[in-house]
Amino acid sequence: MKTIILMILGIVIAPILGGLIAGIDRRVTARLQSRFGPPILQPFYDVAKLFGKDKVVSNFWQVFCSWVYLIAAALSVALLFGQTDLLLVFFVQAIGAVFLVMGGLSTPSPYSQVGAQRELIQVLTYEPLIILVFASIFMVTGSFRIDEILAYKQPLLIQLPLMFVVLGYALTIKLRKSPFDFSTSHHGHQEIVKGVLTEFSGPYLGIIEIAHWYETIFILGICALFWHTSLVGVILLLVSTYFAELIIDNTMARMTWRWMLKYVWSIGLAMSFVNLIWLYAG
């Protein structure tokens, strides 16, 4: 019963929190660039406006894919809040990722096609790292179950500092921020227009936006596991991590996918190995 309540809570709260974070993100980014920026509620106004627009599609599978993307993202957050299994949650999240790519590939627009291929490379880059992060959590706590992990007495950050940095790479990629924002270029007017999202418009773009909010909460929720022992710790960790993301986003130029794949895999694997060897030695 408790699980179901937590899951429903997750489904309801996550998009609200995700939208607010997006709003704060825009505001802080603006300040970093000496602008004022939009009101914090602007992402909600944007999505509301999208839902008011005419429905326009070029391939009806787009509609299907955007809905499945949203539902899978919501389900993964629900499973995370319901304290099930880390890997399971991640695989459910992958359903969303796959359907977003399929939606992008379903129209023959070159921007959408290239964006979808790049999105796949992003998934290729972050997925092994996240699995390794989960495996390392398993090595420390002896379980993939979130309820068991929450019962662990120490913050994981103490034993897995480098794995947290590795997770940070995955977070940057998943949030589609520079230097890794090449599948949808989250600032408009760039080389591939809006990448995988180019052909989605109106309510369907709105759906994808909400799904993205869910994903933001999903990945921040996993970050929160690293300091689960105190609420202050969680907030401190998340605020500083997200702020670091913003700084990186604003100071880095976008790189190519070749660079990303080589760089993130090599650095990520090296750091994982170092951290895991510590664990074994200790």
Which region, judged by CB under 8 A, interacts with other proteins, from 30-38, 108-116, 174-182, 213-221? 108-116
**Residues paired with residue 85 on neighbouring β-strands, in sequence order:** 145
> How many residues form the binding site for other proteins (CB under 8 A)?
74
* Contact residue for other proteins among 28, 40, 46, 117 (CB under 8 A): 117
Q: Give the DSSP H/E element, type plus range, for residue 42.
A: helix 42-52
**Residues paired with residue 193 on neighbouring β-strands, in sequence order:** 190
> What angle, 0 to 180 degrees and rounded to 10, lies between the N-to-C axes of helices 202-224 and 231-251?
120
Contact between 23 and 40 (Cβ < 8 Å): yes
Q: x/- contact string, 37-76, with other proteins (CB under 8 A)? A: -----------------xxxxxxxx-xx--xx--xx--x-
The smaller minimum CB distance to other proteins, of residues 72 and 223, is found at 72
Dihedral sign computed on CA atoms, order 224, 230, 231, 232 = negative
The smaller minimum CB distance to other proteins, of residues 45 and 278, is found at 278
Pick from 71, 1, 28: nearest CA to 211: 71
Q: Least Å distance between CB 197 and other proteins?
A: 11
Q: Which of residues 132-191 bind other proteins (CB under 8 A)?
A: 132, 134-135, 138-139, 142-145, 148
Structure tokens at 132: 């390794």
DSSP 3-state assignment of 132?
helix
Q: Torsions phi, psi of 145, nearest 5?
A: -80, 130
Other beta carbons within 10 Å of 189: 7
Burial of 37 (0-12, 13-18, 19+ CB in 10 A): middle
Q: Least Å distance between CB 145 and other proteins?
A: 6
* Contact residue for other proteins among 80, 163, 193, 264 (CB under 8 A): 193
* Contact residue for other proteins among 39, 52, 110, 161 (CB under 8 A): 110
DSSP 3-state assignment of 85?
strand
Q: Least Å distance between CB 161 and other proteins?
A: 17
Which region, judged by CB under 8 A, interacts with other proteins, from 159-167, 215-223, 233-241, 265-273? 265-273
Q: Which of residues 194-213 bind other proteins (CB under 8 A)?
A: 198-199, 201
* Contact residue for other proteins among 128, 155, 168, 233 (CB under 8 A): 128
The smaller minimum CB distance to other proteins, of residues 73 and 237, is found at 73
* Contact residue for other proteins among 109, 248, 252, 267 (CB under 8 A): 109
* Contact residue for other proteins among 91, 243, 259, 278 (CB under 8 A): 91
Pick from 171, 179, 138: nearest CA to 276: 138
Which region, judged by CB under 8 A, interacts with other proteins, from 107-115, 170-178, 211-219, 226-234? 107-115
